Amino acid sequence: MNERLLGAVEDRTDDLVALTADLIRFPTVNPPGEAYRPCAEFLGERLKKLGFETEFIRAEGAPGDSDRYPRVNVVARLDGRSPGPCVHFNSHIDVVEAGDGWTVDPFAGVVKDGRVYGRGACDMKGGLAASVIAVEAFMEAYPGFPGAIEISGTADEESGGFGGVAHLARLGYFSKPKVDHVIIPEPLNKDRICLGHRGVWWAEIETKGE
């Protein structure tokens, strides 16, 4: 199993780089929440071509949501040939502001010296691209797989996720029996897999010294 699947993944190395660069080119900066819709639609169209049923869910009323900056999420699902568990890959599509000090355009998706440069290359459009490529490889290696696969691109993780995963969770998108397992390729390090997340904590710290 592993050799067949890993071979299919290795054959898609160039596709992984290209998809990561394509996603970076959507300047989904949060705040204010730019380019969510076109980024979600781009992802949805790619998954439709693989046979996924795609849905776009706007988190109306969520913090920051407006007609100018709609909090748009995409959820795509592909059912296998027989019943079985559903594995859901979730990634956020928003990124923090680019900041200073760049030597390349942070939203150009530059590939140089074997690396992809851009805001979101690590956190976490690279992870989103890896999910898509992994699923494509899995589908090639095991076309008759049981169960189901879901992939989502969600909004607002950088500001608490209220217009993204929190909104979808309230609607039951991650609950059984719809979904059995969720994998989030958020960047930590290559040797660590975490089984939970405590959420976000904002604080103001004031210190005194001599």
How far is residue 131's CA from residue 134's CA, in Å, rounded to a whole number? Answer: 5
How far is residue 128's CA from residue 132's CA, in Å, rounded to a whole number? Answer: 7
- Whether residue 79 lies in the annotated active site: no
Strand-pair category, 72-79 with 148-154:
antiparallel
**Residue 56 has which token pair?**
């776009």
Q: Which of 65, 136, 157, 158 is catalytic?
A: 157
**Residue 49 has which token pair?**
């071509």
How far is residue 149's CA from residue 36's CA, in Å, rounded to a whole number? Answer: 23
Which of 106, 140, 144 lies closest to 122 in space, CA to CA? 106
How far is residue 73's CA from residue 163's CA, in Å, rounded to a whole number? Answer: 8
Q: Which of 94, 136, 150, 156 is catalytic?
A: 94
- Whether residue 157 lies in the annotated active site: yes
Q: 86: part of which helix (H) or strand (E)?
A: strand 86-92
Active site residues: 94, 157
